[in-house]
A and B are shown apart, each in its own frame.
Chain A
Amino acid sequence: MLSNIGISLVVLVLILSFLTIYTAYLDLKTSNQFIKVSIYKLSLFQTTFTVLSFFTLIIGFINSDFSLINVYENSHTTKPFFYKIAGTWGNHEGSLLLWINILVIFSYLFLVFNYKHNKRFRLYTLIFQNILILGFLFFLLLNSNPFNSIYPIPLEGLGLNPILQDPALAIHPPLLYVGFVGCSIYFSAAMASLISGYGGKLFAQSIKTWVKISWCFQTLGIIVGSIWAYYELGWGGFWFWDPVENASLLPWFAITALMHSLIVLEKRSTLYSWVIILCLLTFILSVTGTFLVRSGILNSVHTFASDPSRGIYILIFLSFMIFSALIIFFTKHKKETFSFNLKSRETFILANNWFMAFFLVTVLIGTLYPIFLDVLTGVKISVGPPFFNIVIIPLVVPFMLLMSIGPKFSWIKSQNKFFYETLFLMLSAIVINLFIFYFFGEYSLLSNLIFITAIFLILHSVLDAKKFINNINKTGLSRIISHLGFGFLVFFIGINHQFSLEEDFNLKVGEIKKTDNYEINFKNIKIKQSKNYKAVIGNFELTNLKNNLVQYLDPEIRIYSNPETLTYEAAIKTKMTSDLYLTMSNVSRSEYYNIKFQNKPFMVWIWISAIMVALGGFVQLTLKKNED
């Protein structure tokens, strides 16, 4: 029943897509200044039906309607209500439907909100967006239909992977999808701009908001993913340079570069071609990421039980996208002349783009190299986290320097009025770093440089914030917040990395382990029965030997029955200054439990500063009018 409703709705959306393309094409030829009302209506219907199809699937999950294969494979009647809903996008087919929803919704919103812009440009955008929609609809219907039915109807479902039954992970995919799929709209807009010749400043204004929205959501999505990895995966880190994390970072670098150079296009009407390239690249990288994750080529946490046919379809579609983008770009783009003064803000924004390009290339090589090597020579390798750390971290130093002083320069040409201020801030940064170095412990030269530049950036941003509050300078609030957030982020990651403690050992119940600063007493274990899992809870008494502070930590081993899986739940005591982190695991029911204990300074500040970076973007969205 639901299966029929769902498929009908999807087919209806498909037909509406064709109709939209057709009527939009006809409307291009009329000399009428306004877009026909029927196109708005078609687009609105399309949006309504797509959203309805998604709700149909959600209803299937809520009611545990196992006549749908998708529900049967990914849900279970005993699953909590919230995770039944989250299960909708916790699998390949459902998430593809969510993907299409976002394509369609953005298509409609772009059409409606850009009413001031050129008609041909808007119609072409609509056409390209609908071609994308069609591509994914065919993929959904032919290969990954969430509404496929199963007969006889099973009585019970197989359940959702317990590791995904987590609040952070329930909202992680929708956030990322808004971020990654949202890029589609300016992919289409860039193509439309090339064909219709609607470029320059006006083009920048038409896509600005959409770039910011997708940037904010991407940033938030990545942060939520890291937070989840931190407390769920149980190794205590938050970034692993896992290929799939990298896949999410690639479009993020491109979009961050885009967001910056878009300002140049808007203010100075230059860099048009580069902005177009970045628009195209961002979505192409998003789809590439999806391809890597869904095809099973990469070996990672996110691997959905893989099916090579999916990979092939996405790869074909991806190549189609890249080729058409290249062809349109090279036949339509016009030569531009640049005249940048070295001491101007645009030069610094361009420098940001250079760094972003470098980071992007590095991560791309590190991620794809093993795949190519395997295909070409059959040698199996993996690229370890040290590669990324060695290449990227040193470059963060000049990056932050430029990031601090860049915003001080004005457009076109500026004088060095702020030399003494910069010098003063630099000296303060060096002094603060010396203070940390002297009182808290020594670290390497590179770490020194990282701390100095991070503090330099923080001081600069704080000063700018002060100027903003005192009404001296009324622009760039969102930039100040994001840059300040980034400075703090690097600073706290540095501190955290430098001063973390980690102990790994095996204990029996009742035993005590002494480390340099702590005494860990494994008092007992309890068994607790929950709705959909059984938990073995350890009871640990932790004594800080320096101040005799006693704390209790209760890590869990959860045994889920549907599907049968173990998860380790870390016990985390979060304080403003540090996190205590303890996980307990057990191998083949031996009497020894493996304990991993960590003391991670300023952990919570890493999240706060990362969220601050994203917040800058949201601030800009709400303050649009008086910004810049």
Chain B
Amino acid sequence: MLTKKVKKRILFLISIFLLSIFAFFFILKSLNKNILYFSSPTEIKEREDIPFGKDMRVGGMVKKGSITVNKKNIQFIITDFENEILISYSGTVPNLFVEEKGVVAEGKLSDKNFFIADRILAKHDENYMPPEIKEIIQKNAK
């Protein structure tokens, strides 16, 4: 026979266990929904299963001479020296957004050559380059 105290404790442990499983499941589930995949222009071109209309990130270098600004938005081309993609963006760009520097655009792909960004990330250190972009450039710029 289990005493009342032991019973209480077992019940307590079980409920804690269930609660933590539930919490963990909840965390992972939300995580899954809010992941942003990072791709290079080449990956976008080559991959068949690239999702349209889902938030993602594209990174590479801002192509020289490609930035145009008009009343509504900014357009520029991200290149990884093999393929390119046109980005359209309206909003503030970070201070290190410059031609021929690394950039990451966050937003949705509207087709394989056109990307609508809601955020532009460029980093705050003039010598710093996001590791993803460094990799792309090392691969392609040889």
B-binding residues in A (CB < 8 A): 161, 163, 233-235, 296-297, 299-301, 303-306, 358, 361-362, 365-366, 369, 379-384, 386-387, 390-391, 504-506, 563-568, 583, 585, 587-588, 590, 592, 594, 596
Q: Cβ of B23 < 8 Å from any Cβ of A? A: yes
Give the chain A neighbours of B132 by CB distance below 8 A. Answer: 299, 380
A297 to B, closest residue via Cβ: B131
Judged by a CB distance under 8 angstroms, whether B138 is at the interface is: no
B13 at the interface (CB under 8 A from A): no
In whole angstroms, what is the CA distance A265 to B128 when docked? Answer: 47
Q: Which of A303, A381, A592 is in CB contact (< 8 Å) with B37?
A: A381
Query: Do B36 and A384 have beta carbons less than 8 Å apart?
Result: yes
Interface residues of B in 49-105 (CB under 8 A from A): 55, 57, 67-74, 90-93, 95-99
CA distance A195 to B30 in the complex (A): 42
Are A384 and B34 in touch, CB under 8 angstroms? yes
A567 engages B57 (CB within 8 Å): no
Cβ-based interface call for B18 (8 A): no
Which of A300, A384, A588 has the largest count of B CB atoms less than 10 A from its CB? A588
B72 to chain A: closest CB distance in Å? 7
Given contact pairs A163-B124, A379-B37, A381-B38, enumerate 11 new A-B contacts (beta carbons under 8 Å): A299-B123, A301-B124, A304-B125, A362-B27, A365-B27, A380-B39, A386-B34, A387-B30, A390-B30, A566-B95, A587-B74
Closest to A384 in B: B34
Our pick among B74, B98, B127, B131 for the contact of A305 (Cβ within 8 Å) is: B127
List residues of chain A with CB within 8 A of the CB of B114.
none
Which of B23, B30, B38, B39 counts the most A-chain CB atoms under 10 A from its CB? B30
The contact of B69 among A299, A563, A592, by CB within 8 Å, is A592
Residues of A within 8 A of B35 (CB): 381-384, 387
Write the nearest CB–CB distance from A500 to chain B, whole angstroms: 15
Within 8 A of A (CB), among B122-142: 123-128, 130-132
Whether the pair B30, A391 counts as a contact (CB closer than 8 A) is: yes
- Complex Cα spacing A567 to B95, Å: 6
Judge if B17 is at the interface, Cβ distance under 8 Å. Answer: no
**Is A384 within 8 A of B92, CB to CB?**
no
Do B93 and A594 touch across chains, with their CB atoms under 8 A apart?
yes
**Does A296 contact B67, Cβ atoms closer than 8 Å?**
no
In the complex, the answer to whether B131 meets A565 with C-beta atoms within 8 Å is: no
Q: Given the complex, which residues of B lie within 8 Å of A382, measured CB to CB? A: 35-36, 38, 57
> Looking across the interface, which residue of chain B has its beta carbon closest to that of A300?
B123
A358-B23, A588-B99, A592-B69 known; A380-B38 Cβ under 8 A: yes
How many B residues, CB 8 Å from partner?
A: 42
Chain B residues near A305 (CB, 8 Å)? 125, 127-128
* B69 with A587: CB separation less than 8 A: yes
B131 close to A299 (CB less than 8 A): yes
The complex places the Cα of A161 from the Cα of B124 at a distance, in Å, of 9
Known interface pairs A594-B74, A594-B93, A596-B91. Does A303 touch B125 (Cβ–Cβ under 8 Å)? yes
Q: In chain B, residues 1-59, which have Cβ atoms closer than 8 Å to a Cβ of chain A? A: 23-24, 26-28, 30-31, 33-39, 55, 57
Complex: A504 Cα to B89 Cα, angstroms? 11
Q: Which of A163, A296, A594 has the most CB of B within 10 A?
A: A594
The reply to whether A588 and B92 form a contact with Cβ atoms under 8 Å apart is no
Judging by beta carbons under 8 Å apart, are A383 and B34 in contact?
A: yes
**Out of A301, A362, A381, A596, which one reaches B123, CB within 8 Å?**
A301
Residues of A within 8 A of B73 (CB): 506
CB distance from B136 to the nearest CB of A (A): 10
Residues of B within 8 A of A361 (CB): 23-24, 27
Contacts of B28 in A (CB 8 A): 365
A64→B94 CA distance, assembly (Å): 31
Q: Are B125 and A506 in contact (CB under 8 A)?
A: no
Q: How many A-B residue pairs have CB under 8 A?
A: 118
- Residues of B with C-beta under 8 A to A587: 67, 69, 74, 93, 97
| Distance of A568 Cα from B55 Cα, bound (Å) | 27
In the A-B complex, list the 3 residue pairs whose CB atoms are closest, starting with the nearest: A387-B34, A380-B38, A590-B69
Which of these, A163, A504, A567, contacts B92 with CB under 8 Å? A504
CB-CB nearest in chain B for A366: B31
Q: CA–CA, A384 to B98, complex, Å?
A: 24
A594 touches B72 (CB 8 A): no
Chain A residues with CB under 8 A of B93: 585, 587, 594
Q: Which of B28, B33, B35 has the most CB of A within 10 A?
A: B35
Max chain B Cβ within 10 angstroms of own Cβ: one of A299, A305, A563, A590: A299
Q: Is the CB of A564 within 8 A of B126?
A: yes
**Nearest chain B CB to A353's CB is how many angstroms away?**
13
Residue on B with the closest CB to A338?
B9
State in angstroms the CA–CA spacing of A486 and B5 once bound together. Answer: 37
Which residues from A are CB-within-8-Å of B23? 358, 361
Residue of B nearest to A583 (CB): B92
Alpha-carbon distance A383/B125, docked complex (angstroms): 22
A365 with B124, Cβ < 8 A, contacts A382-B38, A566-B95 known: no
B71/A506 in contact, CB under 8 A = yes
Pick from B27, B67, B72: contact of A506, CB under 8 Å: B72
- Candidate in B28, B68, B126 with the most chain A CB atoms within 10 angstroms: B126
Closest residue of chain B to A236 (Cβ to Cβ) is B92
B95 lies within 8 A of A585 (CB) = yes
Point out the residues of chain B lying under 8 angstroms from A365, CB to CB.
Answer: 27-28, 31
B99 & A568 in contact (Cβ 8 Å cutoff): no
Most chain A beta-carbon contacts within 10 A, residue among B27, B39, B130: B27
The answer for the CA separation of A592 and B34 in the assembled complex, in Å, is 34
Q: Taking the nearest CB of chain B, how far is it from the CB of A453, in angstroms? A: 19
B34/A594 in contact, CB under 8 A? no
Report chain A residues within 8 Å CB of B38: 380-382
| Most-contacted residue by chain B among A297, A305, A506 (CB, 10 A) | A506
> Which residues on B sit within 8 Å (CB–CB) of A235?
92
User: B34–A390 contact, CB under 8 A?
Assistant: yes
> Are A596 and B34 interface neighbours, CB within 8 A?
no
Distance of A382 Cα from B34 Cα, bound (Å): 9
Give bound CA distance, A251 to B57, whole Å. 29
Query: A383 vs B98: C-alpha distance in the bound complex, in angstroms?
Result: 25
Q: Which residue of A lies closest to B133 (CB)?
A: A299
A382 to B119, CA, bound (A): 14
Q: Please determine whether A565 and B91 come into contact, CB atoms closer than 8 angstroms.
A: no
Max count, chain A CB within 10 A of own CB: residue among B28, B38, B67, B98? B38
Contact between A585 and B126 (Cβ–Cβ < 8 Å)? Answer: no
CA distance A183 to B71 in the complex (A): 52
Residues of B within 8 A of A567 (CB): 95
A585 CA to B33 CA in the complex, in Å? Answer: 33
Residues of B within 8 A of A161 (CB): 124-126
Cβ–Cβ contact B91 & A504, under 8 A: yes
Q: Is the CB of B67 within 8 A of A588?
A: yes
Q: Chain A residues with Cβ under 8 A from B57's Cβ?
A: 382
Of the candidates A301, A387, A505, the one whose C-beta lies within 8 Å of that of B31 is A387
What are 6 residue pairs bridging A and B, where the CB atoms are less than 8 Å apart in the complex?
Answer: A296-B131, A386-B33, A387-B35, A585-B95, A587-B69, A587-B93
